A and B are shown apart, each in its own frame.
Chain A
Amino acid sequence: MLEVQNLKVRVEDREILKGINLTVAKGEVHAIMGPNGSGKSTLARALSGHPGYDVTEGQVLYNGQDLLDMDPDERARAGVFMAFQYPVEIPGVNNAYFLKAALNAKRKHNGLDELDAMDFMKLVKEKLKVLHVDDSMLQRSVNEGFSGGEKKRNEIFHMAVLEPALAVLDETDSGLDIDALRVVADGVNAMRSPERSFIVVTHYQRLLNYIVPDFVHVLSEGRIVRSGGRELALELEEKGYAGQGAR
């Protein structure tokens, strides 16, 4: 599904990622952990095509396609989704209206008929129920005036509607209380399937109690310094990031 090879990324003339190698197969959940400044979010943003992140070396193959050659919207339509660490508030853009446009852009790309307002609402209501998201969120402007928890839930809600093949969750757990965390995790778990892969970027192992990963990678100073199974996350919980190759 995803193959990241020797990925080097600069942000404003500073090299943040110094050669990342990562292979994510269909249906797998990979957790990327690491201390602040290790480059976790940079990896997520580079994968989504944020213009502020300059790829200087390496390549990323997504289902055999050169992902880095695609614009952010092409990546999204091809099935890559990023749940933002800081979802952007967009006054005046109705959340449901936007989501419908996004879904139909993707459906059009896949050769499917666009959904009309009624079919869209039917789909959305089902997703809302699963995620325990309040209807009112639909009719508000995108993220405007949302609490931190609401923003993250809205991200998961978008993900549920857009049904990506690869979802990158960028610190979706940060700032969430335990109830909100559970809602987010339930949303992700409900979507786990042999066809769908996840990259879960997190600082804390807490989230991984709810979203159980197949693989855990520890990032330090722009490199993956350790990879392992779920037990690696538990070890980190106990011992912290010190001594994980973090200099």
Chain B
Amino acid sequence: MEAVAALRQGSGHAPAWVKERRELAAQRFAEVGFPTTKQEDWRFTNVAPIAETKFAAAQGAFAASASLVAAVNVPGALRLVILNGQFAAGLSDLSAMPRGIRVAGIRDGARDGAVGLEEHLAAVFNIDAHPFAALNTANLDDGVAVFVTDGAVIETPIHIVVVTGGDGTVVAAHPRVLVVAGANSQARVAQTFIGAAGDEYFNNAVAEVVVGEGAVVDYYTDQRESERAYHVANIQAHVGAKGVFASHVFSTGARIQRHDVGIALKGEGADCTMNGVYLADGDRLVDTHTSLDHAMPHCTSHELYKGILAGKAKAVFNGRIIVRIDAQKTDAKQTNRALLLSDDATINSNPQLEIFADDVKCTHGAAVGQLDDEAMFYLQARGLTRIEARDMLLHAFAGEVLEGLRIPALREQIETNFFTALSRDVELKA
């Protein structure tokens, strides 16, 4: 319990149901503790630096918080800011609030009995499988909840900015997001993780997404934490019958990143996309674990993860697909590709298919390679420098995932960030 006690924080004035869920999660975390590399799911990702650091409970605003929020402004979007784990109304911008949605800070919402919060918060997914998610729930205190009314089509992008830091104090935050999209509703939600450059902190995020019957939800994650941050995030979605859910993850930051993205297709005819592109350089570690649960028949899933690795970076990709016995006519496709720009960069890629139904189509492919020399030469022979040619090929490589971003202003912002990050590593293999 010691680690939990040290990491726990938050207010004591929560309703009983919140306290109960916290307690259960705290017990669970006390039992399992921080994972070690002896566990299959953590074989390549040593979280000792997180387990061994004494983090201070995150406080409120820090010097750069407002400017960081401004730096990722998406014009026209509804902005919800989570500052060091707490909903920050002052930094948020609700002026674009469209009809058909309700938003609430989780702490206030729980206090005020916001409809749907008790039903869904910390209820969508099974915390047992995720020690860090249990840790997040053990600290359940604040964050944002978004409810989209049945049938509402929300054109306004919903942008959740998670900003974390402590002005030199090494803090831990446990931001929480809940998105519930009612039947036949449509919404696009983006989540940006950002911190001050050079800041060390631990951000342990959880997002739960409930996609109702026939609902269409896009969920974008832009992870651009400080290069010294520890970033652990868990996105779990349940998709109802004929629902469509697409997750896109773009990551360029953090010293250690661990992303778990889990999608459960809970109703017939659901469809999901699970894409991501990451850039890792220096001695950074980027670990992605995805899990797709095909529980019902006639569902489709498309998964594409791409990595660009430079320096001594390490990447881990584990893509699990479960096709349950009732999930006939499943069509699942998983692709994982990585480009290694240096001799010292490594990736461990592991598809994990567990198929119990017999009439299904499941394909997976993994490819690890270098930049195509002939393509490089072709571009150079037309006048582009080596760096320009490389960037053009990397742009093309990442473009396949970036083009899934359906909020133009956000796409531009993410592309710019991505290619700025790329220029950090100008060393090219000869």
Query: Which residues of A are at the interface with B, using a C-beta cutoff of 8 A?
Result: 48-51, 71-73, 75-77, 81-82, 84, 87-88, 90-93, 98-99, 101-103, 105-106, 109, 141-142, 158, 162
Q: Which of B334-386 contact A (CB under 8 A)?
A: 372-375, 377-386
A93-B392, A93-B393 given; A87·B378 CB < 8 A: yes
**Which residue of the partner chain A has the closest CB to B394?**
A92
Contact: B374 with A162, CB < 8 Å? no
Alpha-carbon distance A77/B379, docked complex (angstroms): 12
A92-B399, A93-B393, A101-B388 given; A72·B375 CB < 8 A: no
Which of B384, B385, B396 is within 8 Å of A92, CB to CB?
B396
A88-B374, A88-B375 given; A73·B381 CB < 8 A: yes
Alpha-carbon distance A106/B389, docked complex (angstroms): 14
**Which residue of the partner chain B has the closest CB to A141?**
B396
A72-B377, A88-B375, A105-B388 given; A93·B382 CB < 8 A: no
Contact: B385 with A73, CB < 8 Å? yes
Contact: B399 with A73, CB < 8 Å? no
| Chain B contacts for A75, CB-based, 8 A | 381
Alpha-carbon distance A42/B392, docked complex (angstroms): 27
Contact: A105 with B385, CB < 8 Å? yes
Most chain-A CB neighbours within 10 Å: which of B378, B382, B393, B396?
A: B382
Number of interface residues of B (CB under 8 A): 23
**Which residue of the partner chain A has the closest CB to B430?**
A51
| Chain A contacts for B399, CB-based, 8 A | 92
| Chain A contacts for B381, CB-based, 8 A | 48-50, 72-73, 75-76, 82, 84
Q: Which 5 A-B pairs have the closest CB atoms?
A: A92-B396, A76-B383, A88-B378, A102-B382, A105-B383
The count of A-to-B residue pairs whose CB atoms sit within 8 angstroms is 77
Contact: A73 with B397, CB < 8 Å? no
Alpha-carbon distance A158/B380, docked complex (angstroms): 13
**Which residue of the partner chain B has the closest CB to A87?**
B378
| Chain B contacts for A87, CB-based, 8 A | 378
Contact: B392 with A50, CB < 8 Å? no
Most chain-B CB neighbours within 10 Å: which of A87, A101, A162?
A: A101
Alpha-carbon distance A193/B253, docked complex (angstroms): 54
| Chain B contacts for A142, CB-based, 8 A | 378
Contact: B382 with A90, CB < 8 Å? no
Alpha-carbon distance A71/B387, docked complex (angstroms): 13
B20 at the interface (CB under 8 A from A): no
Which of B375, B377, B385 is within 8 Å of A50, CB to CB?
B377
6 additional contacts (CB under 8 A) given A48-B381, A84-B378: A73-B381, A73-B389, A90-B379, A92-B395, A103-B383, A162-B382
Q: How far is the CB of B370 from chain A (nearest CB, A)?
A: 14
**Which residue of the partner chain B has the closest CB to A94?**
B396
A50-B377, A84-B378, A88-B378 given; A73·B396 CB < 8 A: no
Q: How does the 8 Å CB contact mask read for B199-232 relative to A, with 1 for contact and 0 for none? A: 0000000000000000000000000000000000
Alpha-carbon distance A102/B389, docked complex (angstroms): 10
B118 at the interface (CB under 8 A from A): no
